Structure 1
Amino acid sequence: MSNLHYPQFCALARAAELIGERWTLLIIRELLLGAKRFGDLLDHLDGVSPTLLTARLNALVDSNLVRRVTLPRQANAQLYELTDIGREIEPAIRELIRWGGRFLFPPVPGDTFEPDWVMLGLDAIARRTPVPDIAIGLVVRHDRKSAAFTIAGGQNGTTIRKGGTDCKGSLQAPFDAVLQIIGMSISLEAAVASKRARVSGSAALVRKLPQLFDLAERRRGATTAM
């Protein structure tokens, strides 16, 4: 169990005891993206020691937020994945990402970035109301790494899933350019002209990408409030 304890009979205090230790929320972020091996977690949590990661995972397992899964003998590996109780924290993580987004820029020199994290970031700003019934491919690149997604709209809002095949229009760009295009602080044409983005297939379809998110409206609201 976590060594963190607040002597208060309060649900928020109990939640903080479970997930308030350093690195714990980021471990949960990784597991929301899928089950992972210990080495995968270590690679994506730059700065955490193997000893500390082991302690955090043990505490999460003891709290029934995470479970260990042993793969068949041929694979000879153990995975960590969220339990049903652990996965119930996803809406709270989404709101934390929405809130934390205002403090994201400018990037801190030396910070690491994994393109896979974009899936949770985009889900946090996805519309939850009906949007155009379209599917747009997205490839987010960073240095030599990249991650592909499909951004799909419909009556239930916007969904983001891994993989970007079978889309009639796709956008390839670094994450900061993707946010600027979605937030309508730069146009798709300007991003392409400056070589910060590349479009494959239907540019008219990709131009509808901001309609699947509420980032532009939130930014306008923040500007109005100032």
Structure 2
Amino acid sequence: MNDVQTGRTQAEVILGGERTSGLGMEHDRSAEYGDEPQRCEPERGAALRTCAERESALAAWLLTAAEDRERARQEWDGHDVALLRCGGAFAAVRVPTTVVEAAARTNDRRMMGEYLDEALLGGAAFIDESFCRVYFLVPPSECDRWNVAGSTCLGPDTFLGVPYPGVEHHGRAYWLAEMDGPGALCTPDVVKQLVLNGRHRLTSLTCSLA
């Protein structure tokens, strides 16, 4: 599973389809990835630095949810996905990919990303292609209130494999919509409406084919 609802030390963790364990050496991810192609596709060197700095700031904020930041950096380096704890900096609403595709009216990942960029108003969502799920990052206070059929809110004691900011649309897990800035989470009511719209559209499509 991409999300593990148990203690980190007792869990068999799967990141991007591969098992990982143990601690690694401290590594400066922002320095290594400064010259890689970025999602924002800057044209000038100054823009590239700005984009790299933005992703570094997002990564630093996400690392506040890591049980061990050093290990999380190594996981990002080796798998582009790090195991982070839900319920502190953020919670995550897990939704089947088919529901999000229905809401966006497309299964094209870039078009889905464009839809979510607009719909989420600066909030963030990533997809796990291995398990056909989309995760929306929401405020941790939502854990106790979330009650939307066809979705689950992951809170305390749940570890979630989260991709490094700026990962392109490839691999098993990547961002469909990135945060506008550190701590910019999805508005829960927006995610709720998206899920309801997607489920309604799926039901309508099923009935029309019956």
Q: How does the TM-score come out when normalised to structure 2?
A: 0.30
Between the two structures, name the one with larger relative contact order (CA 8 Å, sep ≥ 6): 2
Larger radius of gyration: 1
